């Protein structure tokens, strides 16, 4: 269960205070998926950063499985990320110079998982890169890189997966494949999914969607029957 | 615990990755150079110092000499035995030698079998005939006496002389003995006899003035241990004799070269600190993404720090191993190339001295890369979502300061020369502050004059100002490096010149004392006939300081001051109207007050300090049997590097008229003209000639050694400095890739970009060499006046050479780099980023 309560974020630009997130509240039940829509600059990334506890709000709270993130200190927030979170970014963010396998192993190793190699291999096979284990990030195409990132995000079986425009840097077809993969894993592992996008088709595949504009929620929708399959 | 192991494994993986990618190369290079440079310096110091110590030992006749007015306790000698030291004893006293109804007051050494432990005694059958080396003390019943005694007593070899209650046979003419340098003003000629004959003479009675000299020789380590053991046990009248006492010239050459080496290692460390900081900075920049990502994966920033701490340790260990290896190799090569010819049987290197370089390298690496690492730690994890977010702007000055202070602490422990350290540091801080200010102003001015007709000139000037932070960093790095190189070369040149001057081919190697006033003119003509150069004559009176302002010196001077040379022997007092060459008034005024009735004197600085004297104090002397006193009207410093007669006390002319003075002079005598000495002594039997030629040679040897150390270290520091400068240039290309790509997409031509980049380097070269010149002038001023005590003049040549050399160096070093960032297509450049 993910709850956002009255999140506000103000930043100082020179002398001026700029409100980039205004009173954002919502609830998302375990295993469900939420799409955050909005124009560029509407505050989506800011919101995602707060949900992850990467950034601090000016006011408000985020509750992840009843734990108030911002009451924790920096160290405990980090620990909560380690235990609960997975990330997929627009700019893939693979660790350069490490192989696909090593990239996927990294979060497992950080948890001290003894079966890191085994699990990482399995996950890479699942995303269809079983043959590319030893390839380095820069030897993979964009789509492949993002698949490694997806494998890396899911391999720890996170409670909550956050994705910031995961297909933003990919062509449509490849993007669709990545999204399919994400939904498939989301269903298999019962992960709660928060997805930032400005693609309405993609949003339609989520259980819920929410639109931001100027840092405010202007629309919240429950999708009765999310589209299950990619139209492609 | 397992958590730490985990972080270690991850660190190892990142280290391997960075190794493969070459990210670590620059930092590892810096660390290796650091370790190598400090190792080279320490190994060279160690080897040349032990070579110098051998030479010094020849002057002293031992590795260590303890002098004492009475016998030292037997346990002390046992302690020496425990340290496996060889030992010899020499009992020194003044007594009168009789023969042929003539007498001569002589300074007698009664020496034990093993005397001297180091150096040598040379004797001849007749004065100034062929010398032979003696390997043992004279046999019982025999004595070696100086040429002068031969003359005065009119004796020859195998004749008998009377000493106290015994007769001794003359076994030869004493031509050279260790410690000859100290006899400079020991007017009495000396003689060496066997210690076993001492009792029979019965000259040693309770209350007679005797000096026991205990000589020790052995392994340097054991000598050091023994010295450390002895120091606290010595009473105020006992002391360890140093080369200073025996030869101030050699002593000060040794100590100046030590200071020079200290200065070199200090500057090298500063240089290395800058390089390490620069390359750590560059490395850290490339780790921002990784750090943010790991934070995202749930690592606390402490854990991220630990990982990079591990990586740094890996670099540290590899750097120490590689650097140590290179250091040893380079040192061998340098010694082979430069020192072997000059110094025969240079001692082998003692690798245990590498401990300090290791410690220093560790502090350098961790201290100077800490600020960069802290930056990595403070990269906000939000960076994974927003690439542009950089590390928090923490002030890294405190960290640099802390590591700087630690390093200085370590160096101080090592060098023990606070004054040198302080001079350089104060100078550098001033320079740093002024640098920052000048650079800012200069950039502003440059920007505002960016209205020339050439677009690339304008562009380059604006670029420098636009990236003010980076520009300042580069300016600082370049100017510090240039400054260090220039300073090292300059100080070395001026030190060597100084030494050459003081030991050149024309400096006097003989002194003449006891010249009667009426003999002066005759002597002058005699020397002219022989075509010998001969210095002026100084009147000289010998006296002992007995009191200060009427109070006995025993109570008026601190216990420490009691040990000073000036109280332990008779002083040479002269009078002079003009300030003698090599002397400088440091307090008061040289001009003697005309109207004052009181006797006025000028005193040497160190003596005044040791005895706690200031201007206006009155010193009481005993001269012969009479009392005399003089009021201090000024304080002088003396340049001990010169081989001219130097006087602790100079009186106002006229104030010592009641005493009959003798005159002292010095002259240079080539060895083939030695027989002239015999002639002089025959004509003027009362004149004493002191031969310094042999001892001078030994001192020259010492100076040759220390100067080759200075030379070696200079070569090395300059090479390291140039290497680092080259490496720093690489640092400047980083930002240029992107700049170049953007300009190219905007349609600028390759040639335009290349030209404007080159102009940037020209400005950088001019600015940084200007700042370096400023720093060099300021710091040499401080160093010369405060530390090395040599005269300071502005170095105009530098003003021309430095900018030109820097310009050439920078343009050539950047030639390839500029091509590299302008040649490829813009697309490639963007990819590379
Ligand atoms: N640290 C910051 N300082 C100033 N402005 C910021 C900062 N972070 C975000 N913004 C501004 O807040 C707004 C929302 O940004 P963001 O959350 O990145 O939007 P989106 O992801 O929807 O494009 C933008 O106008 C952005 O410029
Ligand atoms: Mg965004």
User: Higher model confidence: residue A186 or residue B703?
Assistant: A186
Going by C-beta distance under 8 Å and a sequence separation of 6 or more, which residues neighbour residue B465?
B443, B444, B446, B447, B471
Touching check for B402 and chain A: CB below 8 Å?
Answer: no
- Calculate the average pLDDT of chain B: 80
The residue contributing the CA closest to ligand 1 atom 25 is A41
All residues of chain B having their beta carbon less than 8 Å from the beta carbon of residue A110 are 6, 10, 294, 297-299
**pLDDT, tens digit, for every residue of B261-293?**
777 777 777 777 777 877 787 788 778 888 888
Domain regions of chain A by residue span: 31-56+71-222
- Domain ranges (residues) in chain B: 3-54+252-501+700-831, 86-217, 534-667
Higher-confidence position of B776 and B705: B776
Substitution site in B379, B382, B383, B386 for ligand 1 pocket (most atoms within 8 Å of beta carbon)? B386
Mean pLDDT of B695-701: 70
For the segment A50-73, what is each residue's pLDDT rounded down to a tens digit? Answer: 998 888 899 999 999 889 999 998
- pLDDT above 60 for B181: no
Give counts: helices (H), strands (E), chain B.
25, 22
| Size of chain B, expressed as the number of residues it contains | 833
Residue B14 C-alpha from the chain's centroid: 44
Name the closest-CA residue to atom 26, ligand 1. A41
B288 to chain A: closest CA residue: A95
Whether A27 has its CB under 8 Å from any CB of chain B: the answer is no
Percent residues over pLDDT 90 in chain B: 7
pLDDT tens per residue across span B553-590: 888 888 777 777 777 777 888 888 888 877 888 888 88
Q: Is B831 on the interface with A (CB under 8 A)?
A: no
3-state secondary structure of B776: helix
Q: Is A78 on the interface with B (CB under 8 A)?
A: yes
For residue A35, pLDDT over 90 is answered with yes
Fold observed for domain A31-56+71-222:
Rossmann fold (3.40.50)
**Cα–Cα distance for residue pair B176/B53, rounded to 1 Å:** 20
Closest by CA to A178, choosing from A202, A214, A157, is A202
CA of A10 to the centre of ligand 1 (A): 10
Facing residue for B290 by CB, picked from A52, A87, A95: A95
Closest ligand to C-alpha of residue B380 is 1
Q: With a CB-CB cutoff of 8 Å, which residues 83-122 of chain A face chain B?
A: 83, 85, 87, 89, 91, 93, 95-98, 102, 106-107, 109-112
Angle at B98 between CA B97 and CA B102, to 5 degrees: 120
Residues of chain B neighbouring A106 (CB-CB closer than 8 A): 10, 294, 297
**Residue predicted with more confidence, B79 or B380:** B79
Interface test with B, best of A78, A112, A160, A194 (most B CBs within 10 A): A78
Cβ contacts of residue B364 below 8 Å, gap of 6+? B31, B34, B269, B272, B273, B276, B403, B407
Give the best residue of B11, B298, B299 to mutate against chain A (max A CB count within 10 A): B298
- Whole-number Å distance, alpha carbon B393 to ligand 1 midpoint, is 20
Q: Which residues contact B337 (CB under 8 A, 6 or more apart)?
A: none
pLDDT level of residue B687 (50, 70, 90 thresholds) = confident
pLDDT at B829: 47
CA of A183 to the centre of ligand 2 (A): 21
Distance in angstroms (rounded) separating the CA atoms of residues B603 and A50: 79
List Cα–Cα distances, B75 to A221, B68, B138, B367, in angstroms. Answer: 100, 15, 28, 48
Query: Which one is predicted more confidently, A144 or B820?
Result: A144
Is the pTM value of this prediction over 0.90? Answer: no
And the tokens for B464? 């420098």
> What is the pLDDT confidence band of residue A24, given thresholds at 50, 70 and 90?
very high
Write down the pLDDT at residue B543.
Answer: 86
Mapped onto helix, strand or coil, the DSSP state of residue B43 is helix
Ligand 2 centre to CA of A219 (Å) is 18
Helix axes B301-334, A74-84, angle to 10 degrees: 100
* Dihedral (CA of A26, A32, A37, A43) sign: positive
Does A142 contact chain B (CB < 8 Å)?
Answer: no
Q: How far is the CA of A55 from the centre of ligand 2 (A)?
A: 14
């Amino acid at each position: 269960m993910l709850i956002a309560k009255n999140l506000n974020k103000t930043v100082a630009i020179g002398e001026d205070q700029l409100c980039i997130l205004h009173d954002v509240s919502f609830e998302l039940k375990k295993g469900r998926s939420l799409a955050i829509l909005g124009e560029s600059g509407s505050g989506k990334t800011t919101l995602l950063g707060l949900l992850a506890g990467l950034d601090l709000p000016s006011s408000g709270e985020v509750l992840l499985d009843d734990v108030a993130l911002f009451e924790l200190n920096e160290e405990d927030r980090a620990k909560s990320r380690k235990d609960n979170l997975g990330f997929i970014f627009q700019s893939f963010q693979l660790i350069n110079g490490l192989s696909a396998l090593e990239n996927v192993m990294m979060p497992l190793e950080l948890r001290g998982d003894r079966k890191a190699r085994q699990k990482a291999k399995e996950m890479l096979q699942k995303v269809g890169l079983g043959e590319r284990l030893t390839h380095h990030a820069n030897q993979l195409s964009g789509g492949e890189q993002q698949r490694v990132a997806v494998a890396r995000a899911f391999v720890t079986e996170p409670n909550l997966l956050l994705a910031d425009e995961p297909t933003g840097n990919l062509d449509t077809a490849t993007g669709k494949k990545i999204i399919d993969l994400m939904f498939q894993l989301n269903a298999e592992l019962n992960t709660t999914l928060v997805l930032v996008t400005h693609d309405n088709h993609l949003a339609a595949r989520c259980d819920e969607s929410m639109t931001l504009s100027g840092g405010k929620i202007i629309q919240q929708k429950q999708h009765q029957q999310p589209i299950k399959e990619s139209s492609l | 615990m397992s958590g730490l192991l985990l972080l270690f494994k991850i660190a190892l993986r990142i280290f391997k990755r960075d190794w493969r990618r070459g990210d670590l190369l620059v930092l590892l290079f810096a660390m290796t150079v650091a370790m190598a440079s400090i190792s080279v310096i320490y190994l060279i110091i160690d080897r040349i110092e032990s070579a110098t110590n051998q030479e010094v030992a020849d002057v002293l006749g031992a590795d260590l000499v303890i002098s004492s007015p009475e016998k030292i306790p037997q346990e002390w000698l046992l302690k020496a035995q425990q340290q496996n030291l060889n030992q010899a004893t020499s009992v020194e006293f003044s007594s009168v030698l009789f023969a042929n109804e003539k007498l001569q007051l002589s300074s007698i050494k009664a020496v034990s079998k093993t005397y001297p432990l180091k150096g040598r005694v040379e004797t001849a059958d007749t004065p100034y005939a062929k010398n032979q080396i003696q390997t043992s003390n004279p046999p019982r019943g025999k004595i070696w006496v100086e040429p002068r005694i031969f003359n005065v007593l009119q004796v020859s070899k195998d004749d008998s002389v009377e000493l106290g209650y015994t007769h001794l046979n003359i076994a030869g003419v004493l031509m050279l003995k260790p410690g000859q340098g100290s006899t400079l003003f020991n007017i009495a000629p000396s003689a060496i006899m066997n210690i076993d004959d001492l009792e029979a003479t019965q000259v040693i009675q309770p209350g007679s003035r005797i000096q026991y000299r205990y000589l020790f020789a052995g392994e340097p380590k054991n000598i050091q241990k023994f010295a450390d053991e002895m120091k606290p046990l010595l009473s105020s009248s006992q002391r360890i004799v140093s080369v200073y006492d025996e030869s101030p010239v050699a002593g000060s050459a040794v100590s100046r070269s030590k200071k020079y080496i200290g200065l070199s290692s200090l500057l090298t460390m500063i240089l290395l600190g800058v390089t390490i900081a620069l390359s750590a900075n560059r490395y850290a920049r490339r780790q921002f993404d990784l750090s943010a990502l790991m934070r995202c994966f749930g690592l606390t920033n402490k854990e991220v720090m630990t990982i990079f701490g591990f990586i740094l340790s890996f670099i540290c260990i590899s750097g120490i191993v590689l650097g140590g290896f290179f250091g040893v190799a380079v040192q061998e090569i340098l010694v082979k190339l430069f020192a072997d010819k000059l110094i025969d049987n240079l001692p082998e290197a003692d690798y245990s001295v590498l401990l300090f370089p290791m410690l220093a390298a560790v502090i350098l690496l961790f201290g100077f890369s800490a600020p960069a690492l802290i930056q990595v730690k403070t990269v906000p994890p939000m960076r994974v979502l927003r690439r542009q977010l950089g590390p928090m702007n923490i002030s890294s000055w405190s960290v640099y300061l802390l590591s700087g202070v630690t390093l200085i602490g370590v160096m101080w422990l090592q060098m023990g020369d606070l004054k040198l350290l302080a001079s350089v540091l104060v100078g550098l801080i001033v320079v740093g502050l002024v640098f920052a200010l000048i650079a800012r102003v200069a950039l502003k001015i440059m920007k505002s004059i960016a209205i020339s007709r050439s677009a690339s000139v304008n562009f380059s000037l604006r670029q420098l100002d636009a990236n003010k932070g980076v520009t300042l960093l580069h300016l600082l790095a370049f100017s510090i490096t240039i400054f260090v190189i220039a300073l090292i070369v300059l100080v070395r040149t001026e030190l060597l010149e100084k030494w050459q001057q003081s030991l050149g081919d024309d400096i006097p190697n003989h002194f003449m004392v006891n010249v009667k006033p009426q003999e002066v003119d005759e002597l002058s003509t005699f020397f002219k006939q022989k075509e010998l150069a001969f210095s002026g004559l100084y009147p000289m009176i010998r006296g002992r300081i007995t009191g200060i302002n009427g109070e006995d010196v025993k109570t008026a001077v601190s216990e420490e001051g009691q040990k000073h040379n000036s109280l332990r022997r008779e002083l040479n007092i002269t009078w002079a109207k003009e300030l003698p060459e090599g002397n400088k008034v440091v307090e008061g005024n040289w001009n003697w007050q005309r109207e004052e009735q009181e006797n006025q004197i000028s005193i040497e600085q160190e003596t005044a300090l040791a005895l706690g004297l200031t201007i206006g104090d009155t010193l009481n002397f005993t001269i012969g049997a009479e009392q005399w006193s003089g009021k201090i009207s000024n304080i002088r410093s003396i340049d001990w590097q010169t081989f001219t007669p130097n006087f602790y006390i100079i009186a106002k002319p006229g104030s010592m008229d009641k005493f009959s003075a003798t005159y002292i002079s010095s002259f240079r005598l080539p060895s083939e003209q030695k027989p002239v000495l015999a002639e002089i002594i025959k004509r003027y039997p009362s004149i004493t000639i002191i031969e310094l030629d042999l001892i001078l040679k030994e001192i020259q040897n010492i100076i040759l050694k220390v100067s080759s150390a200075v030379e070696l270290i200079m070569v090395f520091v300059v090479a390291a400095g140039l290497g680092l400068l080259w490496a720093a240039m690489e640092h400047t290309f980083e930002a240029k890739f992107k700049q170049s790509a953007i300009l190219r997409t905007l349609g600028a031509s390759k040639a335009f970009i290349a030209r404007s980049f080159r102009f940037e380097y020209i400005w950088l070269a001019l600015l940084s060499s200007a700042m370096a010149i400023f720093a060099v002038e300021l710091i040499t001023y401080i160093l010369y006046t405060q530390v090395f005590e040599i005269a300071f003049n502005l170095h105009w040549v530098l003003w021309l050479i430095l900018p030109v050399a820097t310009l050439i160096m920078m343009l050539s070093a950047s030639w390839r780099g500029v091509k590299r960032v302008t040649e490829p297509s813009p697309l490639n450049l963007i990819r590379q980023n």
